[in-house]
Structure 1
Amino acid sequence: MPSTTSTELDATTALRKLTGRDDAVFHDGQLEAIQALVDDRRRALVVQRTGWGKSAVYFIATLLLRQRGAGPTLLVSPLLALMRDQVAAASRAGVRAVAINSANPHEWEDTQAKLAADEVDVLLVSPERLNNPRFRDEQLPALIDRMGMLVIDEAHCISDWGHDFRPDYRRLAELIGRLPDDLPVLATTATANARVVTDVAEQLGSVDQVTTIRGSLARTSLRLGVLELTGSRDRLGWLLSHLAELPGSGIIYALTVSAAEDTARLLREGGHAVRAYTGRTDPEQREELERQLKGNELKALVATSALGMGFDKPDLGFVIHLGAPSSPVAYYQQVGRAGRATDNADVLLLPGREDAEIWHYFATSSMPSEERAAAVIGELSDTPLSTPALEALVNIRRTPLELLLKVLDVDGAVRRVQGGWIATGQPWTYDRERYERIAEARAAEQKSMIDYERASTCRMEILQRDLDDPTAAPCGRCDNCATPWFPTDVADDAARVASSTLDKVGVEIEPRAQWPTGATRLGVEAKGKIPEDERFEPGRAVARLTDLGWGGVLRELFSPGVADAPVTDELLGACVRVLKDWGWVQRPAAVVSMPSRSHPELVDSLARGIARIGRLEDLGSLDQLGEGSRGGPGGNSAYRLADVWGTFGVSDQLASGLSALAGQPVLLVDDRIDSRWSMTVAARELRRHGSGSVLPLALAVVA
């Protein structure tokens, strides 16, 4: 028998301290990874299932390296929830870990002092922090000089081919290139197929230089299933009927924020202890919701992908998907939250007809276009320009603009500095081939997800094969290997409650209060605060396009290729219910319609119908001046405003009608509201021509 090395003895002692068990032993591959880092000082890639113990590898390796005189570990971690769990886990192992991220920048001075005193074993940073100008230029060089190990958690984010690719992660390849060859580097992930593994290994150095430790991705605790139901009513009815029967507490994933919020509200009204967790949830509230779920104070969190990588509740009993993610790899990552320290956990997918539309939206919105990239580079120089200032010069909304800047930064075309962004002057070419290949890969992943839903073979084996796991084999537990383990009925009363919830109408439309920065450069003769007597009052729409209930009807109405037609009795009735529940201070006396290029018959018939049913005066439509708005989607506020500025007019006949109302409110009717600038400019014209308060009413909110 080979002799036990000092590394193995020290690592085993640390493992038992970490787990609190005197009989703890390493899983296959854990000690091998630790020895590669500590003894051989190599670069390693660990691809292992969720719950295998990847964090134990880097915490124990850190302790051993520190005992041998190494500096602190820099751990790049993508999510705040993940950081919180990692700091807590580190303390259990006797590892002094601190995090610096967007939620605690005020703590950086204390962290610096601890680093200077050598009182930090692991510094956790977000990938975005690596490109913070002050951190990158002033603090990172000193960290690199002292660093004992670099750890990249959720390393699939490095790769274009990873299901959760992030531009900031690509910057890590540059950081790795600056490190000494003998400085240990560890990359970990649970969701990487062969293409991603090769890509990450190459960014760590080269495939030959990297020790890759890959184990079986089978999750023997998970019982997978797919239940196809007719529509949102039956899916929500199923949750109402059977949520209480699911083991322990868990996560219900939804594809959109509005779907998560609507579902959480429905289940809460049905007596279930659930809350919504989305990108709109405040960081402090997220932390409290995570705590409540971990403490089993909640039956479930209804979450978007905002609750994903790294959330650690070992006894999570179930994961339900209300709509499918766009790839089996992303699906495997999310269901991996369940059954990490239990023998059994239930995983059920309830796919929806709207899934493909949502996949398409997210896939196209994240891909930079050559035209937009060239516009951004063309506006930058060696003088820093802030993101808001740049936004006023290019027709790109803030979020996609920030994403594009990150991509161009990694490509070397622009650079973030104190005060904003500059152009580097380096030659840059749009990599069309790369983006086309990524788009093709995304389309293939979507097809694989549909294949998973419709499969008659083992579901775990399908997920393993999509991750190129050579150990893929039938699990013997899923609904295809055995009999379906889940009930398929929907209780009548639950279906009725779901129908009632889905039938609810009325989404508030908040008025704009400020003209956008930079609009004057585009010919808009307005800036600063919008006078209150020129704004519209809070308005209403039937529903959001992303809503589970009426959203489906509206998405179909506004689908490309659907011909303009008069409003249906169903939608007109929904508008009447919105008006009935409005609760305005003063009832409107008249209706004015917006001019529409795409749906003139729909808008005109809607306005006339409301006027007839409500016995309101029909004042007709605003005039459309010149060529009118192009009405295209996207673009930032300044450009969206400039697009509609000066395109609405008040005819003499309409002005006379407004004057006769003597300041009484009017309804301003439109088909869809997106940026709210069309409604803002139109309301301003009406108010300037003697109208009383303007109350917007639309069929849909694009959100």
Structure 2
Amino acid sequence: MTPDAASTATHEAALAALRELVGRDDAVFHDGQFEAIGALVSGRRRALVVQRTGWGKSAVYFVATLLLRQQGAGPTVLVSPLLALMRDQINAAERAGVRAVAINSTNAHEWTDVLAQLDRDEVDVLLVSPERLNNPAFREQQLPALVRRIGMLVVDEAHCISDWGHDFRPDYRRLRDLIAQMPAQVPVLATTATANSRVVADVEEQLGIGPTGGGEVLTIRGPLARASLRLGVLRLPDAASRLAWLLSHLDDLPGSGIIYTLTVAAAVDTARLLRERGHEVRAYTGQTDSDERAESEGMLKRNEVKALVATSALGMGFDKPDLGFVLHLGAPSSPVAYYQQVGRAGRASDSADVLLLPGVEDRDIWHYFATASMPDQERAERVIAALGDAPVSTPALEAMVDIRRTPLELLLKVLDVDGAVRRVQGGWVSTGQSWVYDRERYERIAGERLAEQRSMIEYEQTDGCRMEFLQRSLDDETAVPCGRCDNCAGAWFPTEIGTTATAAASESLDRVGVVIEPRRMWPTGADRLGVPAKGRIAAGDQAGEGRALARLTDLGWGGTLRTLFAAGVPDAPISSELLGACVRVLAGWGWSERPVAVVAMPSRSHPLLVDSLARGIAEIGKLPYIGALTLVDGGPTGQPGGNSAFRLAGLWDRFSAEGIEIPAGPVLLVDDQVDSRWTLTVAARALRQAGATSVLPFALALRG
């Protein structure tokens, strides 16, 4: 067969598969789709496809898979970052007759069946998460056999590979090692909708590695303009006015959509307010149960809810072609991340509305998330020094290095990718390889993050075309004014806010009271640090359920508290406004037995604040103020926010109730902030042992 004839035959077979995939006999390829398919199937090349959301990147790898399988190739391994993406891709594959299965954290009960199907060659596409690549059993038992049989490797959302991508993830960096193992004849495809030139160059370099160099990478970039999107920015003075606008105009937005927030607390609080005012919405966050997430996704796709109020947990890969709107309460930290999220809307419709309502608190939230993923040199060296040849579990390591579980897990991923540690059956070991903190690299990344944040502010403030701005942020040379956004065509959204909505939003934000759950178990490993505490906390030593005025991340009182506890703000007595809010919390507590006295924590950072709060509560509640606990030997050692065992060791026996006359009955224990809850736990134990029948903790702020 001549090359032209072979290309024609491949095109005919590919077109037939495409039409089966989309369910339309008149379907044709978009510009670049067949070019990518031909490079993978006929040329067995490595390719990077950078195309806007909705262009049809999944069609490329599903059609290529079908053709490669017809030629006798093994299964495609598709690395996919989110469970929502996996569910959508499996459903899409079934329409084209592609047999797709997944291995992820939610379907462990199916893994045996999936592996048996792979052994029988009954799988066309295996979807795996990047985290799965470092599971010891998968990496050592299944992955080598897969690499030998693999027909094609696909890396979806490939910007995650790059340090410079807006959603860089440590687990994705392991893909460089997997790509390097691919034989030259195995095609490799990377896809993304959000990559600027710097990210493209980085991903191209990584695609080109391999035993024979991998060959030249074919990059197919298309225009990123989304003609269906009508962009706008509405700047309002505060959270109350943003929520009031949403209450006033949610029903005016077309169809169903997504309301993005920057924090879990904001998503939950906003969804609650909207439901209370009669709107069909659901919250969707990283803390939402996986089954509930799947249910919520289905409800949105079937238009059974007006919106999902979501964090970035609902992002890459969520597929609802007719999504009518995307609205942001607070801005993402970069135009590229914003483009990725708004790209969920208008994929298969002529029009969709996209509106950003930025908040004054956005920059503080950006700063937190920008620094949270950066490894700290001292902590990293501490972890490496604690590991040897014998596996150490994460909980055991946590008790050895004084780093909380979540940041420890992230740090271990980074060190694993860097080759300093390795996850094995039973835990973590040191590889013995030298490790040097790459300060220059992390400073470059931090600088890039700051530049992205400045660019997001520019997007909010620009008087030019907003779609053109987003395209230029992605180095799209085809960028021209869209003619549809608020700057091109005038504000398309209403700006008035109803009086009733304003009152409802203000009432919601003024809501007070968050439960402080008491600790019931001493932390693992505390006994190794000289603390005579292990297992369950004795009932007679426990604190009762407590209350805080609000979380620091809350939309309402959280803003006031963030200002109060900001660095550099001097200590001062509590304001009448805050004291009044605290009294409202106490009035609505609903305790089984009213406290008989008030005692204060001995605060080194806010002594005036805590003392005035405790005395104020006592005076208003007509309760005796019996004083503050005493600091022993200088008080707590160590820093707040550490690992539980170390935190407890620094607090143990550091508070004394000596000299305080404790009456019979519950005691209200007052503090400024609650973080790990170990301070309150140890203080409550001291009060219980001094005669208090129960201890009810109360604080202004609950962190996290």
Task: Name the TM-score class by shorter chain.
Answer: over 0.9
Asked if 1 retains the 8 angstrom alpha-carbon contact of 2:262 and 2:330, the reply is yes
Match of 1:455 in 2: 462
Match of 1:251 in 2: 258
One-letter identity of the residue aligned with 1:570: E
One-letter identity of the residue aligned with 1:679: L
Match of 1:72 in 2: 75
Asked if 1 retains the 8 angstrom alpha-carbon contact of 2:464 and 2:488, the reply is yes
Shift of the 395–166 alpha-carbon distance from structure 1 to 2, 3 Å rule, reads same
Q: What's the offset of the Cα at 1:523?
A: 2.1
Partner deviation per Cα, 1:511-551 (whole Å, 9 max, x = no partner): 00111101112221211101122111111011000000000
After TM superposition, list the pairs within 5 Å mapping 1:610-625 onto structure 2: 610-625=617-632
- Which one of 368, 381, 390 corresponds to residue 397 of structure 2? 390
Q: What's the offset of the Cα at 1:630?
A: 4.8
After TM superposition, list the pairs within 5 Å mapping 1:280-295 onto structure 2: 280-295=287-302
Match of 2:123 in 1: 120
Q: What's the offset of the Cα at 1:627?
A: 2.1
Could you tell me how far apart the structure 1 residues matched to 2:14 and 2:426 are?
46
SS in 1 for 2:489: coil
Partner deviation per Cα, 1:608-657 (whole Å, 9 max, x = no partner): 001000000110000011222257343111122122112101122x0xx2
Match of 2:577 in 1: 570
The question of 1:694 aligning with 2:701 is answered no
One-letter identity of the residue aligned with 2:251: A
The question of 1:351 aligning with 2:358 is answered yes
Could you tell me how far apart the structure 2 residues matched to 1:441 and 1:105 are?
38
After TM superposition, list the pairs within 5 Å mapping 1:275-674 onto structure 2: 275-630=282-637, 632-652=639-659, 654=660, 657-658=661-662, 661-662=663-664, 664-674=665-675
One-letter identity of the residue aligned with 1:80: L
SS in 1 for 2:670: strand
Could you tell me how far apart the structure 2 residues matched to 1:651 and 1:570 are?
33
Could you tell me how far apart the structure 1 residues matched to 2:637 and 2:350 are?
58
Could you tell me how far apart the structure 2 residues matched to 1:480 and 1:431 are?
43
Could you tell me how far apart the structure 2 residues matched to 1:554 and 1:578 are?
15
The question of 1:199 aligning with 2:202 is answered yes
The question of 1:240 aligning with 2:274 is answered no
Shift of the 254–630 alpha-carbon distance from structure 1 to 2, 3 Å rule, reads farther
SS in 1 for 2:344: coil
Match of 1:182 in 2: 185
One-letter identity of the residue aligned with 1:64: L
After TM superposition, list the pairs within 5 Å mapping 1:21-100 onto structure 2: 21-100=24-103
- Let me know the Cα RMSD of the aligned residues: 1.1
- Identity over the aligned pairs, expressed in percent? 72
One-letter identity of the residue aligned with 2:140: D
Shift of the 447–223 alpha-carbon distance from structure 1 to 2, 3 Å rule, reads same
One-letter identity of the residue aligned with 2:530: G
Could you tell me how far apart the structure 1 residues matched to 2:407 and 2:48 are?
31
One-letter identity of the residue aligned with 2:474: L
Could you tell me how far apart the structure 2 residues matched to 1:632 and 1:690 are?
30
Asked if 1 retains the 8 angstrom alpha-carbon contact of 2:160 and 2:168, the reply is yes
Asked if 1 retains the 8 angstrom alpha-carbon contact of 2:640 and 2:647, the reply is no
One-letter identity of the residue aligned with 2:543: F
Q: What's the offset of the Cα at 1:437?
A: 0.2
Asked if 1 retains the 8 angstrom alpha-carbon contact of 2:153 and 2:189, the reply is yes
Q: What's the offset of the Cα at 1:570?
A: 0.3
SS in 1 for 2:401: coil
One-letter identity of the residue aligned with 2:674: I
SS in 1 for 2:69: helix
Q: What's the offset of the Cα at 1:208?
A: 6.8
One-letter identity of the residue aligned with 1:396: I
Partner deviation per Cα, 1:432-464 (whole Å, 9 max, x = no partner): 100000000000000000000011000011111
Shift of the 648–634 alpha-carbon distance from structure 1 to 2, 3 Å rule, reads same
Could you tell me how far apart the structure 1 residues matched to 2:458 and 2:697 are?
44
One-letter identity of the residue aligned with 1:404: L
Match of 2:682 in 1: 681
Could you tell me how far apart the structure 1 residues matched to 2:650 and 2:236 are?
43
Could you tell me how far apart the structure 1 residues matched to 2:60 and 2:637 are?
56
- Which one of 154, 158, 161 corresponds to residue 155 of structure 1? 158
Q: What's the offset of the Cα at 1:116?
A: 1.1
Could you tell me how far apart the structure 1 residues matched to 2:455 and 2:528 are?
48
Could you tell me how far apart the structure 2 residues matched to 1:160 and 1:518 are?
35
The question of 1:130 aligning with 2:104 is answered no
Could you tell me how far apart the structure 2 residues matched to 1:299 and 1:341 are?
18
Q: What's the offset of the Cα at 1:493?
A: 0.6
Structure 1 length-normalised TM: 0.98
Asked if 1 retains the 8 angstrom alpha-carbon contact of 2:46 and 2:215, the reply is no
One-letter identity of the residue aligned with 1:511: P
One-letter identity of the residue aligned with 1:451: E
SS in 2 for 1:5: helix
Unaligned runs of 5+ in 2: none
Deviates more, 1:527-536 or 1:556-565: 527-536
Could you tell me how far apart the structure 1 residues matched to 2:399 and 2:692 are?
32
The question of 1:217 aligning with 2:220 is answered no
After TM superposition, list the pairs within 5 Å mapping 1:161-180 onto structure 2: 161-180=164-183
Q: What's the offset of the Cα at 1:112?
A: 1.1
Shift of the 639–421 alpha-carbon distance from structure 1 to 2, 3 Å rule, reads same
Deviates more, 1:557-566 or 1:203-212: 203-212
One-letter identity of the residue aligned with 1:507: V
After TM superposition, list the pairs within 5 Å mapping 1:2-17 onto structure 2: 5-17=8-20
Could you tell me how far apart the structure 2 residues matched to 1:648 and 1:263 are?
40
Asked if 1 retains the 8 angstrom alpha-carbon contact of 2:47 and 2:217, the reply is yes
Unaligned runs of 5+ in 1: none
Could you tell me how far apart the structure 2 residues matched to 1:504 and 1:349 are?
25
One-letter identity of the residue aligned with 2:90: V
Asked if 1 retains the 8 angstrom alpha-carbon contact of 2:81 and 2:156, the reply is yes
Q: What's the offset of the Cα at 1:356?
A: 0.4
